Structures are given as C-alpha cells and as structure tokens.
C-alpha cells in the first residue's frame, strides 16, 4: 500500500527534528518568562503590594485549558468521521498543533512587539498560540486525507507566519476588535485552506471516493469532537477579552448563539436531508457555526437576543452550504473541501465579521458606559467615531481575505512540489499509507464472527 514515494523514514524525521531544533535555538536566544512567570520579577510585584492571587494565571488558565481541549480533542476528533482516517485525523492534528503552538509563540512574539529584544511568554501567549494553531487546523480540514504530514508541517510554517502578520495588521494597525477570531482565525484559516485545496486539486480523486465517507462508529468519534467544540466555544471567544464584564458577557453571548444555532441546524437538516432524516454532517458541523459567527461581536453589547439571531443565521447558512458541496465545489470551483470548512468556518466567519462591523458601528456611550474603554478604547478616547470603528472592522475582513487567499495560493504551489510524500489519488483518506495498522484478522475473529448460540453461551459461561 505504500511505496518509496510515500515512505516517511527520512522525510518526516528530518522535518520534525530540524524544525524542533530551530525552534529550540530560537527559544534559547529570544524567549523569556514574563513578569508573571518569572520568580524574581513576580516577587518584585509582590514586594510592591500585589498578591499571588492577582497572578493572571488564575483568570486565564481555565479558559486556556478549555481552548486546549478544543484544539487537540475538538479539532482532532471532529475529523475522525472518515472511516479509515482516524489515526491520521487525531494524529496529524496532534503533530501539527504541537508544532504550530511553538512556532506561533515565536511569530506572534516577533510581530506583536519584543521587550528589549526578547519575547515574553505567559498565559496570554499560550492562548494566542493555541488560537493561531486553530487557524492552521481549520486549513487542515480542507486538505484532510490528501496530504502527507510533511506537507502539513510545511503548510503550518507558512500559515502561522502569515497568521501573525495578518493578526498584527488587523488588531494593531487597523485597530479592529476580533477577540474570538471570526476574521483572524476562522475566515483566515478557511480561505487559506480552501485556496491550498484549490491548488492541490486532484481531478482523479474519485478513485479514493469509497474511502471518503464515514461509518457508524467513526461518526460517533467525530461527535466527541463536535460536542467539545460546542461546549467550550464560550471559553474560546472570551479567553483573551478584558477581565470582568467583558469575559463574562462574551462567554454568555457565545453560549446563546450556539444554542440558537443548534435548533436551526436540526430544523434545517431535516428539511434538506434525504427523506426527512437528519444528516450527521450537519449536526457535526453546522451546529458549531454559531460560535464562529459571534467571534468578533461576542465581546460587544450584542445582547442575548442579538446573539441568538446571529447564531440562528449562522446555522442556517452553514446547513445550506453543505447541500451542494460535492457538486458546486468540486466540479465548478475545483476545490475539494474534505471537511466542508467553507460552511463551518468560511461563511460563518465572514458573517461574524459583518456582524462585528455593524455592532461596532452602533456602539454608543449610552449603552457601554465606562465599559467602552475595554471594548472600544479608541471610541472611548474619542480618537474615532463608532461608525469609523465599523469601517475599520470591514476593512479588516477584506485584508484578511486577501492575505489568506494570496498566502494559500503561494503555499499551495509550494506544497505541490513532489517531494513531500503526498498520497497518490488511489489511496487518499487511508491511514495505512502513513501508519502501521494493527492486524485485523485476530480482531475479526474475536469481534465479528457469527457465533452459534452454543459458542456464545460458552464464552459467557
């Protein structure tokens, strides 16, 4: 099932070890504990009257762990729906996430500002690194089953770098708000990945078509991913917002958006699916669109009412997106989007950006009070009008789309080089090409042989 082209004995070790050695060297040169993780510096703050209980660890770490679960369990298991790609879904997700969070720490550190030539790390950099990783995993969803782990690592190197640049432009240069990353994470990751998938288009992918589908238990494993993403999305969107009402409100807005989105998803799934039945693809994916769509506006005074409307719309758009995925996408645009990231992250991300722009443009001192300083510091300080903040948000969406598409295009061509051990068209969506698979004969005998009643009784005797 493999041949020398897809043998990873040299390629993967070289990629992993060279990248890790580079990272370690750069960490040695550039990375330092921040004020809250350094023994000496923190105890200076203690000497100046701080309490250990003021350490930001206690106000961010629970959110961080929820985000961590979304990245490693959520994304990893969501992609196990394929019948024979569970090892790769969870395993490559694990690999590229472990890589990307290190690389992101460096890239975000470079771009967002060094402190005396050093990158300072603490709980916020850990959350931001996981966020960037999430974006890479979204792109992974678009090319799932058709790429080697070496390609994925190379993609991560480039995507993380461009993510950091785009995030810097959006948040620091343009002054937009995007705490939950409707634009910087979801829109960016989705369109980057879709463009990569476009460049890597395989006209003969239908040779692996029989493996590009789920089986009963693989769909249940995928539901583990879905439910974890759904539950912890409030933590994701609120993980880096300002402390106090901001985190509290963001979590709650996201919770309501997701709940409304779920009802829309079930309702519409029964409308559009075959024979009035529910389709697992919708439930696994579209029910999450509500979290994506309040990624920008969640920290604003969107109200529970507004959050539910946004969630309801996001679920609707997402389910409808899955209808013609095979036809339109593959045949017309030649984008083979394995997980349908356009429907889960792309369209809902754009929706979230627009909702954010509108909500920002409508911000008034009357509604936000002094809380304006946390949500829209530039409006609070009088530097900009609310309407202009809305314009900034809209421009940020355009910039994000531009960088994502252009970056994906270039990355796609780099990944097209025939040196990474990509699978041939005939064995896509198949773990056996990169993983030693457990023998199945033994298992077969144990698990599935029809036993005569006598044999069964003896077994249970």
Q: How many residues bind a second copy (CB under 8 A)?
A: 162
Dihedral of the alpha carbons of 99, 105, 106, 112, in degrees to the nearest 10:
150
CB atoms within 10 A of CB 36: 18
Binding track, positions 157-196, relative to a second copy; x by CB under 8 A: ----------------------------------------
Contact call for residue 122 and a second copy (CB under 8 A): yes
Contact call for residue 227 and a second copy (CB under 8 A): yes
Q: Which of residues 313-332 bind a second copy (CB under 8 A)?
A: none
| Least distance between a second copy and beta carbon 70 (Å) | 10
Binding track, positions 338-377, relative to a second copy; x by CB under 8 A: -----------------------------xxxxxxxxx--
- Which of 138, 185, 297, 301 is close enough to bind a second copy by CB under 8 A? 301
Contact call for residue 117 and a second copy (CB under 8 A): no
**What is the Cα–Cα distance from 355 to 306, expressed in whole angstroms?**
10
Residue 82 is given by DSSP the state B
Q: Which helix (H) or strand (E) holds 33?
A: strand 31-33
**What is the Cα–Cα distance from 63 to 211, expressed in whole angstroms?**
37
- Which of 143, 144, 200, 283 is close enough to bind a second copy by CB under 8 A? 283
Contact call for residue 249 and a second copy (CB under 8 A): yes
Contact call for residue 382 and a second copy (CB under 8 A): no
Q: Rounded to whole angstroms, what are the CA distances from 428 to 5, 148, 329, 420?
A: 14, 10, 18, 15
Judge whether 73 and 420 are in contact, CB under 8 Å. Answer: no
| Least distance between a second copy and beta carbon 151 (Å) | 14
Contact call for residue 10 and a second copy (CB under 8 A): yes
Q: Which of residues 20-39 bind a second copy (CB under 8 A)?
A: 20, 23-24, 27-28, 31-33, 36-39
Judge whether 132 and 160 are in contact, CB under 8 Å. Answer: yes
Contact call for residue 95 and a second copy (CB under 8 A): yes
Judge whether 240 and 296 are in contact, CB under 8 Å. Answer: no
Contact call for residue 52 and a second copy (CB under 8 A): yes
| Least distance between a second copy and beta carbon 47 (Å) | 7
Please choose, out of 183-191, 330-338, 339-347, 438-446, the segment that lies near a second copy by the rule CB under 8 A: 438-446
**What is the Cα–Cα distance from 241 to 178, expressed in whole angstroms?**
9
- Interior angle at CA 247, CA 65 and CA 41, nearest 5: 65
């Amino acid at each position: 099932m493999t041949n020398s082209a897809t043998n990873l004995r040299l390629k993967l070790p070289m990629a992993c070890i060279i990248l890790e050695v580079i990272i370690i060297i750069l960490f040695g040169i550039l990375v330092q504990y921040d004020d809250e993780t350094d023994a000496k510096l923190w105890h200076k703050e203690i000497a100046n009257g701080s309490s250990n209980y003021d350490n930001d660890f206690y106000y961010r770490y629970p959110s961080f762990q929820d985000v961590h679960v979304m990245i490693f369990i959520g994304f990893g298991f969501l992609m196990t729906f394929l019948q024979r790609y569970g090892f790769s879904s969870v395993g490559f997700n694990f690999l590229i996430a472990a890589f990307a969070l290190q690389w992101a720490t460096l890239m975000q550190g470079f771009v967002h500002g060094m402190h005396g030539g050093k990158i300072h790390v603490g709980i916020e950099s850990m959350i931001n690194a996981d966020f960037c990783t999430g974006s890479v995993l979204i792109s992974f969803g678009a090319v799932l089953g058709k790429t080697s782990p070496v390609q994925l690592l190379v993609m991560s190197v480039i995507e993380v770098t461009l993510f950091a640049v785009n995030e810097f432009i959006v948040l620091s240069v343009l002054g937009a708000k995007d705490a939950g990353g409707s634009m910087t994470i979801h829109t960016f990751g989705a369109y980057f990945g879709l463009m990569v998938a476009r460049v890597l288009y395989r006209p003969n992918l239908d040779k692996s078509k029989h493996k590009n589908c789920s089986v009963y238990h693989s769909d249940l494993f995928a539901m583990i991913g879905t439910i974890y993403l759904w539950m912890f999305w409030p933590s994701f969107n609120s993980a880096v917002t300002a402390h106090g009402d901001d985190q509290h409100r963001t979590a709650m807005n996201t919770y309501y958006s997701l709940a409304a989105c779920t009802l829309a998803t079930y309702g519409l799934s029964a409308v559009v699916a075959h024979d009035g039945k529910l389709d697992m693809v919708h439930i696994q994916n579209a029910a999450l669109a509500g979290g994506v769509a309040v990624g920008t506006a969640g920290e604003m005074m969107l109200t529970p009412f507004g959050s539910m409307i946004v969630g309801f719309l996001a679920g609707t758009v997402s389910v409808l997106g899955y209808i013609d995925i095979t036809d339109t996408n593959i045949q017309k645009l030649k984008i083979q989007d394995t997980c349908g990231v356009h429907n889960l992250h792309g369209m809902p991300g754009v929706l979230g950006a627009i909702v954010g722009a509108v909500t920002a443009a409508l911000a008034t001192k009357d509604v936000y009070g002094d809380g304006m300083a946390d949500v829209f510091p530039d409006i609070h300080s009088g530097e900009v009008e609310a309407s202009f903040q809305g314009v900034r948000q809209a421009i940020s969406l355009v910039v994000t789309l531009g960088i994502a598409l252009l970056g994906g295009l270039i990355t796609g061509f780099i990944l097209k080089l025939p040196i990474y051990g990509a699978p041939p068209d005939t064995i896509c969506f198949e773990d056996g090409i990169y993983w030693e698979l457990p023998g199945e004969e033994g298992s077969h005998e144990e698990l599935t042989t029809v036993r005569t009643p006598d044999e069964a009784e003896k077994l249970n005797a």
